Amino acid sequence: MDTHDVSAVPQYMAQLLNQKKTLQNAQTRIGQNIEKRKSRDEITMQFRFRLLMGHRQRSDLRTSFIPPAYSPSFRSILDLHKVMIKDLLLETHHRGNYITVRSITPPDRMTAVMAIVEDENGDVVMLQLYYQEEENARPAEDLLGEGTVLIVKEPYLKLMSDGDYGLRMDHPSDLIYIPKNDQRIPSCWQPRVKELEVSAEHLRMQGNNYFNAFNYQAAIELYSRALKSTSEEGEAQTLKLNRSLALLKAKNFDTALADLEPMVSCLKPVEKALYRKAQALYNLQKFEECYEVLTALRSEYPDNVEAKKELLRATKRLQEQESGTYRFNQLYMEAAKLRPPHLDHATYIGSVAIRGSGIRGRGLFTTKAIKAGDLLFCEKSFAHAYIADDTQEASDRDNGLTLLINVERNTATMGAQSELIRMIFQKIYKSPSFAPAVINLHHGSYKSIGFCTVDSTPVIDTFYIERVIALNCFGCPLSSRQTHLRSIESEPVKKTAEKQFHSCGVWPLASHINHSCHSNARRAFIGDMMIVRATRDLAPNTEIEFWYHTPIAEENDDRQKKFEQWGFKCDCAMCHDDQTTKRNILNSRKQQRAKVLQHLKAGLKANLPEIEITIVSMEKQYTQLASKVPRLHVWDLHLGLAQVYMQRREPAKAINSALKSLLSLGYVIEGGNVPHKIGTPMVIKQWGLFEDHNIGCWGVLCGAYQLVAPELATQAAQYAKLSYRICVGEDETFEETYKLG
């Protein structure tokens, strides 16, 4: 939704077709042995040279190809049979097997983390690990540095586009890291000199050193080793406290809570344990439980200054969660400052509920009467991948722009979708309690368990995650206000393109909203917060709908193609009208619209009578009332005409055209015409289709009313402000954006 789809762009379509051809060629080799194996030296030297040259030739645009979907290993390692590199067959998922390998080169990180690995026989192959932790969280050297020993469950030997072959791992849960002191390390890789037995204290100090170097995973492993080698209760408690802090830093919140539970459930809870439990609960967005723990901490340890600060923060989140009251100017400041713009705020859910929606599956419904502009919900993203679209900001950093190509679905998208897959996988993998929020979202016809636990380890199907993202992710700007300001810089009649964004995220509650071009709700963004407001008055039990793609004046077939990936055809009033209107009439609308657009380019010199005659002719071609079927081909023409009339100082005509613009979108307005009867208020009896330029339309009316019907100017300004609130999510910044009066 509002993501940058480039599937039809020639240069990217060519890449998609080339990748499809490569895949077809590879599939002819399924089950074959490798015919000509390169020597160990040749493979390693080739990789090292590519590693050296690659750092000099990094491209601003990365490309990531999604292979045909395959499931992760759902089997215990105890049920798998060990094989060697020589046993592996091309384009084959070796079900029922595993392989133990050791890295023998430095790693490289592109869209995957790569290195050359060897088995116990000394045979080598490239290993590609996808969707791993980002470099600043866990460096490639830590993931696959020289000497790293690991087990690959049910390995997949893939023929690559350059003709070489390699082990490809799309499911990080198929990987098992083997610690240095583990007996599963083959004897030929064991150190010649046995490592001397070290004390728990020594291991703890080593862990502390890694923690201070921000290598939290290594610290966790050392604290865990230390715990196995001590039986002293006090030392074990210190180690668990240390490990819980490292787990928090690594975002393993569930495991951190498990470590802390014995220390907080005893007669005299441990101060640090209570504090860290509160931190874990806060990060899990369990603000009420967090508040309770911090209250207990303040009661037990009243001198804890940090607890007082955290209690205040948790209280603010609870207020947001319960009341939907936000300081939006503060949100803007945070979004402008933070990179990525992940804001520290809670989700508010208003008078809405998820219910069945017939053949559409589930939907979101109102639980009470709602007025236009009311806040339906304000949702913190589950995951949000940011790409700087601002030219200067993008040039200052590697912005992560990636072309994601999916051959099976014939799609190519530009943006952060690949990063979003990685983020969501890692979030669930580290804290499985997050899983239901995403695993239960719509995933189309893709069949998979999605998520389970094997050998006490989460197993997650990456392709399931990819499918969920494809159907549920939203493209989003840094702020909708910023996007709106850009849109009003141009004339409304020039606004013919859809909004497409490179940043994207998943908002689980919003994902339950079904599509309609004739929407009754509008989404807006500030950072990774989505704000959804009603665009019209809604009765109780009304299904909330917004558009997945902005409806514009275009061919119905083109509009319907955009919905193919979701497997539906829009049957809203506008789409139904297009489908039932004769082709010659549709062509006539298109031609007449082009004629008016050309006239309007002349501005003050435009032939306004000719424009009005043409618009009237277009309107006669509609068989349905605009209050039932909004007229996408004419609303902006009326508004363009109104603006010209204001420039020509003809306010009465400007009012007439501006009202016609709103009426064309389905609004029913009483008391707005001139000449105006004093004492008669202007009332919106029915709100119509919402467009960004509606705000400007009310602005034109406000200015014109000031000249001929002053008492209506205030009402027009109020409707402009309400429309602004719907459009950008808030109205705190209205006065600084629009100068009416």
pLDDT tens digits, one per residue of 697-740:
999 999 999 999 999 999 999 999 999 999 999 999 999 999 88
The CATH architecture to which 38-189 belongs is Beta Barrel (2.40)
- The stretches in the chain having pLDDT less than 50 are 396-397, 496
Q: Which strand ranges, in their side-by-side order, compose the sheet holding 352-356?
A: 352-356, 362-366, 543-546, 514-515
d(CA 386, CA 169): 25
Paired tokens of 516: 């309609």
Three-state DSSP class for residue 305: helix
The residues facing 668 across adjacent strands are 686
Q: What is the pLDDT of residue 196?
A: 62
The residues facing 515 across adjacent strands are 546
Task: Report the relative pairing of strands 668-670 and 521-526 from DSSP bridges.
Answer: unpaired
Homologous superfamily in CATH for domain 202-325: Tetratricopeptide repeat domain (1.25.40.10)
Q: CB under 8 Å to 84, separation ≥6 — which residues?
A: 99, 119, 120, 121, 123
Q: What is the pLDDT of residue 390?
A: 66
d(CA 391, CA 405): 25
Q: CB under 8 Å to 640, separation ≥6 — which residues?
A: 491, 492, 493, 596, 600
Three-state DSSP class for residue 602: coil
Q: Are 127 and 115 in contact (CB under 8 A)?
A: yes
- Domain boundaries along the sequence of the chain: 38-189, 202-325, 580-737
Q: Are 1 and 511 in contact (CB under 8 A)?
A: no
Q: What is the pLDDT of residue 396?
A: 47
CATH number for the domain running over 580-737: 1.25.40.10
Q: Are 456 and 468 in contact (CB under 8 A)?
A: no
Q: Are 508 and 438 in contact (CB under 8 A)?
A: yes
Report the phi/psi class of residue 95: left, alpha or beta, with left for phi > 0 and alpha for psi in -120 to 50. Answer: beta
Q: What is the pLDDT of residue 87?
A: 97
DSSP 493: G
Beta strands in 201-318 (DSSP E): none
- Same CATH topology for 38-189 and 202-325: the answer is no
Q: What is the pLDDT of residue 296?
A: 97
**3-class SS letters over 83-103:** CCHHHCCCCEECCCEEEEEEE
Q: What is the pLDDT of residue 198?
A: 87
DSSP 671: S
Alpha helices by DSSP H, listed for 131-232, are 140-144, 200-212, 216-228
Q: Are 66 and 441 in contact (CB under 8 A)?
A: no
DSSP 128: E
d(CA 65, CA 730): 39
Q: How many CB atoms lie within 10 A of CB 444?
A: 13
Crossing angle, helix 287-300 and helix 271-283, to 10 degrees?
A: 160
How far out from the chain centre does Cα 518 lie?
24
Whole-angstrom CA distances from 152 to 88, 110, 175, 201 are 12, 20, 5, 33
Q: What is the pLDDT of residue 556?
A: 72
Paired tokens of 119: 């088995």
